[in-house]
Amino acid sequence: MASGSPYMPEQQRALLNGPAATPPPGVQPNFEHPKNLWTTGTVVEILMLSLATIHIMMRLYTRRFIVGQIALEDYAIFCGWGIFCGYFAVGWRATQIAPGIHQWDLQLKYLGDFLYQIHVGAVIYGICILCIKTSILLQYLHIFVPTKKPDTMYWTCHGLIWLNTIFYIIASFTEIFACSPMAKAWDPLISGGHCITVFDLNVVESSINALTNIVILVLPQISIWNLQMSKKRKLQVSLIFLVGILACVSSIVHLFYTCKLLTATDVTYNSWLTGLWTYPELGSGIMIASLPVSGKFYQNLKEKTRSLLGKKSQLDHFRGQGSLHPSSGTRSRTWLAANYATLSDENHVISNATAVRSDRAGGDRRYNKHQDMQNNPRGIFVMRDIEITEEV
């Protein structure tokens, strides 16, 4: 607590050990076992961070190792994910202090720490959502305006990018310097100084945020249904971008609880719920930004799995060939094994090939692999030297 408190040490100690708010008539403060939403908060926070992390790793792998190119929107979403991790840490701390606990069930000595986490979280949230929305809008430009020819989508995306950038920068600085002294924003024992009405600012911010979320959700749908493709394909692509419904619903509920804070006296309960609903919004935003590359990722995963299984099958096949020619005694055999590379080159098909077995006890022995080539007609027959020593 700040040293600017007007209370004597004994009075301050009594206040700190008492309830953070006056309870309603007939309600007794419960400091030991208050009703709370700790389980709900923990599950939501961990789940959304985990899903966001899985999707961002998928996007990073796809862009770096499959596409081979990192674009501006990739840097923006990676930055947004990093900030989201920091936001998770702040929210986690707030959840350990007062996870949906009514303010009269919380001792005043814990209120300052809780309000500090809420204050820091509000600043981080604005920067995080700015990075996520910028990445999504830049991705829209690359997908739907590849020629960069100015049209409705082009100007709308650019307009939203600059509108969000200016607004969230102003909102973040306003949140940081809302009080003078700054600590008055979270220290309830500071009686001097002054603050602007932060809750009014939060309502404006939440309203603009919910509105832009809806616009970002609807914007690609217009372009998708105007594309020259089958209705089935349009529906498939459309469903990918409709994941943003979760972000829209979350931002609307977030706005609802923000409005309640204008008149609510139970600040800890309502502000914690307000913060909790930002997790589905931020997490789903990161997932939305990552899903357009999911097709390439799963296609690459499917091809690699098929290739590994094919190589294992061929290796087992050639090992089996060695057991068909047993002989007495003990000697070493060196095999020249062959396998198929899964290269999609339909214009260059080798229809026949020969594998050679070199035997130290005898000469080379050739046998035809025509049948094997028919089992994989799109492959290219690749000869690789593999020395296998076996006792026979």
pLDDT digits (tens, 9 = 90+) for 277-292: 999 999 999 999 988 8
For residue 75, pLDDT beyond 90: yes
The pLDDT confidence band at residue 338, using thresholds 50, 70 and 90, is: very low
Tell me, what's the pLDDT at 314?
67
- 191 versus 73: the higher-pLDDT residue is 73
Q: What is d(CA 136, CA 235) in angstroms, rounded to the nearest whole number?
A: 20
SS3 call for 194: strand
Q: Which domains does the chain have, with CATH numbers?
A: 9-299 (1.20.1070), 325-392 (no CATH)
Q: Hey, what are 70's tokens?
A: 């990192």
pLDDT score for 371: 42
Q: How many CB atoms lie within 10 A of CB 243?
A: 15
Average pLDDT for 118-134: 95
Q: What whole-number distance in Å separates Cα of residue 142 and Cα of residue 163?
A: 19
Q: How confident is the model at residue 55, as a pLDDT?
A: 93
Q: Which residues of 185-200 are buried (b: 16+ CB within 10 A; e: fewer)?
A: bbbbbbeeeeeeebbe
| Per-residue pLDDT, 345 | 38
SS3 content of the chain, % helix, strand, coil (to 5): 65, 5, 30
Q: Which pTM was predicted? A: 0.75
When pLDDT is cut at 50, 70 and 90, the band that residue 172 belongs to is: very high
Mean pLDDT throughout 188-204?
85
- The fraction of the chain above a pLDDT of 70, given in percent, is 77
Residue 107 has pLDDT above 80, yes or no: yes
